[in-house]
Structure 1
Amino acid sequence: MGNMPPDDLLNRRKFLSGSARLLVMLSSFTALACACTREKEEERRLTDLVIEQGKLVLDLGENRYQALKTIGSGLKIEITLQEKPLLVTRVSETRVAAFSSQCTHAGYEILLPEQGILACASGHGGIFDLEGRVLAGPAKSNLPHYPAQLIANRVYVAYPFG
């Protein structure tokens, strides 16, 4: 009988083992809730986008796309949480460009245009023009682009959804 732990020690062990199970259950529930929230967020992002005939459509009459009315300006469009945003720029009165906002050098995000150029956020010195072409390294290749057109105050981007 001298080897038996006191009753309060047994009760603490039962409590702690029960607490551990509860923590595991709570963390599983939290992970599931986060996954569901991410899915809902993903759905919201995709439903916020207008897609016609497989092309992303940005109506420049909408406030969220106002930046594209100014030549030399641009904006980022979040397609999914897993990808870097799509970068769309106003190149001229009649032209727009759309491309990945992920630098081809080290994968850092490309910043919005300033004074007609795009800079890599890494600080490595990568600079691109408004059409995503390399102006200064270390990047050696242009940003991956997607065909884009400006027609009657609407921007159409052939983005590969899916």
Structure 2
Amino acid sequence: MGHIPTDDLLNRRRFLSDSGRLLVMLSSFTTLVCACTGEKKEEKILADLVLEENKLVLDLKDNRFRALNTIGNGLKLEITRNEKPLLVTRVSKTQVAAFSSLCSHAGYEVMAPEHGVLVCASGHGGSFDLEGRVLTGPPRSNLHSYPTQLIDNRVLISLFL
């Protein structure tokens, strides 16, 4: 290959520099569009759930929440797209529990209960009972919990403390 004139090198550098700036601007615009779209989605998710006096209300007659009618079962609720889902479990005939699905060990997501046990998806071996208490390590602390009440066929969860 022969000698490339200096003017051509400068034009190539300017082209690459300008192309890089354009890519950064386009990616920023895409992020902004995605964020706006996400906010609309979050509103929809929240609109599907019932709030009364700053408490999330789950009517156990509603098919979406039927898993909570059986002791040892549970479900995940996506409150917003920006957070891990909320875990809600049926502990006993008179008790439900609600907590974050964010593992207290390494931040991986905790799965819905199987056979009355919640297992961290990390594969590290962490597990929790139906009230979010550590059963096996490596987690050393319980899952972050939210106050709950079971009144008739309704679960009330205080998310806003």
Query: By how many angstroms is 1:28 displaced?
Result: 5.6
1:95 aligns with 2:95: yes
Deviates more, 1:121-130 or 1:152-161: 152-161
5 Å-filtered alignment, 1:110-125, equals 110-125=110-125
Change in CA separation of 1:154 and 1:28 when aligned onto 2, cut-off 3 Å: same
Change in CA separation of 1:107 and 1:31 when aligned onto 2, cut-off 3 Å: closer
Name 2:137's counterpart in structure 1: 137
**AA at the equivalent of 2:116:** G
Query: By how many angstroms is 1:31 displaced?
Result: 3.6
C-alpha distance in 2 between matches for 1:75 and 1:114:
10
Normalized against structure 1, the TM-score is what?
0.81
5 Å-filtered alignment, 1:2-151, equals 30-151=30-151
C-alpha distance in 2 between matches for 1:126 and 1:108:
10
Change in CA separation of 1:34 and 1:141 when aligned onto 2, cut-off 3 Å: same
**AA at the equivalent of 2:66:** Q
C-alpha distance in 2 between matches for 1:93 and 1:22:
60
Query: By how many angstroms is 1:56 displaced?
Result: 0.4
Normalized against structure 2, the TM-score is what?
0.81
Q: Give the 3-state SS of the residue equivalent to 1:76 in structure 2.
A: strand
Query: By how many angstroms is 1:23 displaced?
Result: 7.2
Change in CA separation of 1:53 and 1:31 when aligned onto 2, cut-off 3 Å: same
**AA at the equivalent of 1:44:** K
Q: Give the 3-state SS of the residue equivalent to 1:156 in structure 2.
A: strand
C-alpha distance in 2 between matches for 1:61 and 1:120:
29
Query: By how many angstroms is 1:107 displaced?
Result: 0.6
RMSD: 2.3
**AA at the equivalent of 2:45:** R
For the pair shown, which has the larger CA radius of gyration, 1 or 2?
A: 1
Q: Which stretches of structure 1, 4 residues or longer, exceed 4 Å deviation after superposition?
A: 20-29
C-alpha distance in 1 between matches for 2:106 and 2:87:
17
Change in CA separation of 1:25 and 1:136 when aligned onto 2, cut-off 3 Å: closer
Query: By how many angstroms is 1:22 displaced?
Result: 8.5
**AA at the equivalent of 1:69:** N
